[in-house]
Structure formats: structure tokens, C-alpha cells
């Protein structure tokens, strides 16, 4: 056909929309989207016809212009345009709290509770027995108190928000004493000194990068009277001083200082705090609730840290606690109460979905055995070498069934906690190493990422590794499927 004939052969939008498949689709997705898709398909065809040489026009397959073909293409476009940008994938890196991959996966009960609570109305801010307004802050306060020994608790958006509201409430216009060895950057431009400035508190650094003694904190304390006097006798080189508002310890979550080092313990800070009537704040970060030293994790845990007498402690919900993104503040009632009244509390409050996931996750901690079994993060940390070797064998078998041409090998690996937690901990794990003929590891890695359910693997010395610690049992077949020829 000539180009003119082809152009004349293009169907009209209205004709295509009468196709049964598109009538049904319009009812489901709305007619605007379907009409737009038909218009786009026809416009695309017109543009490609206009681009043809006369010779190519003769060879053009005119069946693409038929009404049914255009309707089919439009339907495919509608479905393609509907694909969501946030979707699940499989983590085969062996890094448990992978920040890029959404940190902690939720336990099943947390997921079910989110659906149960958020599909309709809930008692988020309503006291049902009393028939009057309630507070969302009361939803998990008692449970957290029971589990941690804290007097009270408050939940905000994440630990960065928690740091901000703690400092703004306790430290605005005052000095907060922090060790130079703990002026942490967590990543993504979250630096303790910057947050401190934003909160209106003044950072008073003490000690050196590698050594800070308890006495360094004590000698940095300034009383209100001293601060006034300092203002009167301002030394032009000295600068302004303010009264001390709190002593703060920041857990070295994502780095370690080794060698000639010293740091003040929580107990020592609590003692100084008592002596000067100053609160002690501990940004503990990782949210570890149980003693996991039996699994190689020698990190402070929440109840043990609180038992030292800390006044305010804060941590993330989606690191080692294994729950939703949240910042949890626990401690003495008088401070938590002031934070709940702070104007920032409204800006940082969390949604019912977060409370639903958090409460169901926390409930597991009533029995540590249940927490270790049901909370994915803890379950992955505590998985034994034999369990993981057996899982790697099951994965290799599944891959062999799908693609017998691949060379597979079971190899021991070192997995990590990740998410800026316990950077020095290496968990002995197992992986399936995959070699696809002469193809490079990079090429196989790309193939895995392009699968229907993408699989993110680890590459080590040009070896493609599927680390089984972070692959759920019911994902093994899907990983194998991604390697189909």
C-alpha cells in the first residue's frame, strides 16, 4: 500500500472504543485513561507511517491498523501505565537491614494488622469505653513501658525526627554536651551537629575523637548563674556560653573507633546527671530489644540501657526492632509529656498504619522466643549455619530444575546487619554462586534485576552470589525463575 492508503486505513478513535474489550476496560479503569491510550496508539501509528519511505510503505504490515490490533495495543498501554513505582523485590545480598531495599521487612501479623486497621475507621484518637476523644500517643505507650521498663513513650516519624524533638524540647537555648567521638553522620545529610543547630540547642563538644572521659563531660557543665556571669565578662575570644541543658550520648551505630580509645559509660553519665540535676539523653539508634550476644551481636539493648537510669532514650522502629519506620522515644514521664505538648509533635506524628504495624511487632516481644521466631530481622540474624546451608541447597535444586545449564556452587559468605547498625559484625552465612557459561557476573546480575520480580544479588570478585539469609523460604522458586533461560 502507499503511505496515503495506509494513513486512510487508520481506524477512528470512536470505532476502536466500541470494541468489547475496551468497553469492559473503561468500566474498570475509567474511560479517560482508555480513550487517551487509543489516541496515543493511533498517533504512534500515524507517526511511524509518515516516517516510512515509499518502498518501506509497500512492505508495511497493514494488519497493525485493524481495529482489534489497535484495541489490543491500547489495552496493553493502559496496563503498562498502571504499573506502580514502589514494588516488592527479592534481597539476595545477605545484608539484613538494606537501607536501599526498605530496611526491615515486617512480620506477618504487622502486615495483617495494617490492612485490618487502615481499610476502615479505627479508634486512632477515640476512647471507645469512655465515648470521647482519645490520644494516639496512648496506643502503644503502655506496651512499650511494659517491655522496656520506661515510664512513658512517644512515637514519631523516624529517629531523626525523634532526635530533633528531644533536643528542641530539652535543649533549645541551652548547651548539650556531646563527645567529639560521637558526632555521628548517619547518612543522607543527617549529622548530629546539624540537627542540633536546627533544634535550637547549642553543641558543647568534649573530649577528642578517640578519648572522652566522664570528667570531660563534668567539666563542661555550666550552671545558669555561670552562663549569666560569662555573658557579663565576655571574653572576645571566648564567645557566648549558655547554661547546660543535658548530657547526650550517641551510639556509634555505623562505625567503630579502635585502638587507643576511651568513652564514658551510660552509668557514669547518669551519675554526673544526678549530681547536677541534668537529664541524660541516649540516641541508641538501632532499637535492639533483646540480648543477642549469643548470635554475635554485642550491641546495647533497650531495657539494659534504660536500667542504667537514662532519662530519655531514642531509637528507630525499622532497624533491629524489626518494625515499621518510626522513631521511638522512651524515658521519664516529665520529659516525654513535654515532648508530646511541643508544637513539633504534630508535624512529626505518625499515621494509623505505622501504629498498627508497630503494635503488632511489639506484641511479639512479650515472649523473646516468639520475637526471634516471627520477626524477620531477628529470625535472619539468629538463623544457624546448618539452616542456611540447607536453604542454599534447596535454592540450588530449584535453579537446576529451571535452568540445568548453569554452573552452581554452594559457598560460605559473610553477611551483614546493614542499615548503619553493628558495622563490625559479620554473620557467617551461605550463598549459591551462579555462573552462566562464559557470561560475566555483571551480565547475570542485570538479568536478575530485569526479572518480573527483580532479584538484587551480590557480586564478589566477579562471582555472582545469591545469599540465602535474606531470601525468604517462599521466595526460593521465584529466584530460580529469574534465572530461567
Residue 420 sits in the site that holds ligand PLP (CB under 6 A): yes
CA distance 152 to 328: 11
Minimal distance in Å, beta carbon 281 to ligand PLP?
Answer: 11
CA distance 382 to 143: 25
Residue 98 sits in the site that holds ligand PLP (CB under 6 A): no
Minimal distance in Å, beta carbon 254 to ligand PLP?
Answer: 7
Minimal distance in Å, beta carbon 168 to ligand PLP?
Answer: 15
Show the site string, 9-28: x = touches ligand PLP by CB under 6 A, - = not. --------------------
Minimal distance in Å, beta carbon 418 to ligand PLP?
Answer: 11
Per CB under 6 A, the segment of 135-143, 205-213, 246-254, 428-436 that binds ligand PLP is: 246-254
Minimal distance in Å, beta carbon 323 to ligand PLP?
Answer: 11
Per CB under 6 A, the segment of 129-137, 247-255, 260-268, 380-388 that binds ligand PLP is: 247-255
Residue 316 sits in the site that holds ligand PLP (CB under 6 A): yes
> Is residue 100 within 8 Å of residue 424, measured between CB atoms?
no
Residue 327 sits in the site that holds ligand PLP (CB under 6 A): yes
Per CB under 6 A, the segment of 39-47, 215-223, 250-258, 259-267 that binds ligand PLP is: 250-258
Residue 418 sits in the site that holds ligand PLP (CB under 6 A): no
Minimal distance in Å, beta carbon 423 to ligand PLP?
Answer: 11
Residue 301 sits in the site that holds ligand PLP (CB under 6 A): no
Minimal distance in Å, beta carbon 378 to ligand PLP?
Answer: 17
Q: Which of residues 184-243 bind ligand PLP (CB under 6 A)?
A: 184, 186, 190
Minimal distance in Å, beta carbon 163 to ligand PLP?
Answer: 6
When the beta carbons of 190 and 295 are compared against ligand PLP, the nearer one is: 190
Minimal distance in Å, beta carbon 384 to ligand PLP?
Answer: 27
Q: Which of residues 273-292 bind ligand PLP (CB under 6 A)?
A: 283, 285-286
When the beta carbons of 79 and 424 are compared against ligand PLP, the nearer one is: 424
The residues, any chain, with a CB within 8 Å of residue 37's CB and separated by 6 or more, are: 74, 75, 77, 78, 81
Minimal distance in Å, beta carbon 35 to ligand PLP?
Answer: 44
Residue number of the CB closest to ligand PLP reads 285
One residue of 137, 249, 251, 391 binding ligand PLP per CB under 6 A? 251
Q: Which of residues 110-169 bind ligand PLP (CB under 6 A)?
A: 158-160, 163
When the beta carbons of 420 and 429 are compared against ligand PLP, the nearer one is: 420
When the beta carbons of 113 and 158 are compared against ligand PLP, the nearer one is: 158
Say how many residues make up the chain. 485
When the beta carbons of 3 and 252 are compared against ligand PLP, the nearer one is: 252
SS3 string of the chain?
A: CCHHHHHHHCCCHHHHHCCHHHHHHHHHHCHHHHHHHHHHHHHHHHHHHHHCCHHHHHHCCHHHHCHHHHHHHHHHHHHHHCCCCCCCCEEECCECCCHHHCCCCCCHHHHHHHHHHHCCCCCCCEECCCCEECCHHHCCHHHHHHHHCCCEEEEECCHHHHHHHHHHHHHCCCEEEEEHHHCCEEECCEEHHHHHHHHCCEEEEECCCCECCHHHHHHHCCCHHHHHHHHHCCCCCCCCCCCEEEEEEECCCCCCCCCCCECCCHHHHHHHHHHHCCCEEEEEECCCCCCCHHHCCCCCCHHHHHCCCCCEEEEECCCCCCCCCCEEEEECHHHHHHHHHCCHHHHHCCCHHHHHHHHHHHHHCCCHHHHHHHCHHHHHHHCCHHHHHHHHHHHHHHHHHHCCCCEEEEEEEEEECECCECCCCCEEEEEEEEECCCCCHHHHHHHHHCCCCCEEEEEECCEEEEEHHHCCHHHHHHHHHCCCC
**Total site size for ligand PLP, rule CB under 6 A:** 16
Minimal distance in Å, beta carbon 191 to ligand PLP?
Answer: 10
Residue 253 sits in the site that holds ligand PLP (CB under 6 A): yes
Residues in contact with ligand PLP by the rule CB under 6 A: 158-160, 163, 184, 186, 190, 250-251, 253, 283, 285-286, 316, 327, 420
Amino acid at each position: 500500500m502507499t503511505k496515503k492508503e495506509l494513513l486512510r486505513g487508520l481506524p477512528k478513535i470512536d470505532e476502536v472504543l466500541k470494541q468489547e474489550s475496551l468497553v469492559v476496560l473503561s468500566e474498570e479503569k475509567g474511560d479517560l485513561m482508555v480513550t487517551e491510550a487509543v489516541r496515543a496508539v493511533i498517533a504512534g501509528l500515524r507517526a511511524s507511517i509518515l516516517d516510512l519511505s515509499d518502498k518501506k510503505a509497500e512492505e508495511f504490515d497493514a494488519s497493525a491498523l485493524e481495529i482489534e490490533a489497535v484495541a489490543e495495543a491500547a489495552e496493553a498501554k493502559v496496563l503498562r501505565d498502571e504499573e506502580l513505582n514502589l514494588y516488592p523485590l527479592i534481597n539476595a545480598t545477605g545484608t539484613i537491614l538494606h537501607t536501599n531495599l526498605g530496611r526491615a521487612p515486617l512480620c506477618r501479623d504487622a502486615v495483617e494488622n495494617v490492612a485490618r486497621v487502615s481499610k476502615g475507621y479505627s479508634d486512632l484518637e477515640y476512647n471507645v469505653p469512655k465515648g470521647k476523644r482519645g490520644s494516639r500517643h496512648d496506643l502503644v505507650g503502655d506496651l512499650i513501658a511494659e517491655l522496656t521498663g520506661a515510664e512513658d513513650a512517644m512515637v514519631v516519624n523516624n529517629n531523626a525526627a525523634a532526635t530533633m524533638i528531644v533536643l528542641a524540647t530539652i535543649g533549645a537555648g541551652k548547651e548539650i554536651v556531646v563527645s567529639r567521638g560521637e558526632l555521628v553522620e548517619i547518612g543522607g545529610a543527617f549529622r548530629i551537629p546539624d540537627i542540633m543547630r536546627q533544634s535550637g540547642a547549642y553543641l558543647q563538644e568534649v573530649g577528642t575523637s578517640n578519648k572522652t572521659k566522664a570528667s570531660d563531660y563534668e567539666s563542661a557543665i555550666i550552671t545558669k548563674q555561670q552562663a549569666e556571669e560569662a555573658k557579663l565578662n565576655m571574653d572576645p575570644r571566648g564567645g557566648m556560653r549558655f547554661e547546660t541543658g543535658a548530657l547526650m550520648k550517641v551510639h556509634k551505630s555505623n562505625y567503630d573507633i579502635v585502638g587507643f580509645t576511651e568513652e564514658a559509660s551510660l552509668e557514669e553519665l547518669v551519675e554526673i546527671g544526678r549530681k547536677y540535676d541534668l537529664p541524660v539523653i541516649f540516641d541508641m539508634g538501632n532499637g535492639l530489644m533483646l540480648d543477642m550476644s549469643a548470635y554475635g551481636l554485642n550491641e546495647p539493648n533497650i531495657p539494659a540501657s534504660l536500667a542504667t537510669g537514662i532519662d530519655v532514650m531514642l531509637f528507630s522502629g525499622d532497624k533491629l526492632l524489626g518494625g515499621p519506620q518510626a522513631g521511638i522515644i522512651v524515658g521519664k514521664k516529665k520529659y516525654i509529656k513535654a515532648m508530646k505538648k511541643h508544637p513539633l509533635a504534630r508535624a512529626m506524628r505518625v499515621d494509623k498504619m505505622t501504629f498498627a504495624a508497630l503494635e503488632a511487632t511489639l506484641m511479639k516481644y512479650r515472649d523473646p522466643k516468639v520475637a526471634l521466631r516471627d520477626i524477620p530481622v531477628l529470625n535472619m540474624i539468629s538463623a544457624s549455619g546448618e539452616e542456611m546451608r540447607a536453604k542454599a541447597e534447596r535454592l540450588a535444586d530449584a535453579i537446576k530444575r529451571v535452568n540445568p545449564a548453569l554452573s552452581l556452587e554452594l559457598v560460605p559468605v559473610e553477611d551483614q546487619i546493614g542499615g548503619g547498625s553493628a558495622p563490625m559484625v559479620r554473620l557467617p552465612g551461605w550463598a549459591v554462586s551462579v555462573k552462566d557459561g562464559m557470561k560475566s557476573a555483571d551480565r547475570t546480575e542485570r538479568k536478575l534485576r530485569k526479572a518480573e520480580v527483580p532479584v538484587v544479588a551480590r557480586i564478589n570478585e566477579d562471582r555472582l552470589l545469591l545469599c540465602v539469609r535474606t531470601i525468604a523460604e517462599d521466595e526460593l522458586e521465584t529466584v530460580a525463575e529469574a534465572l530461567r533461560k
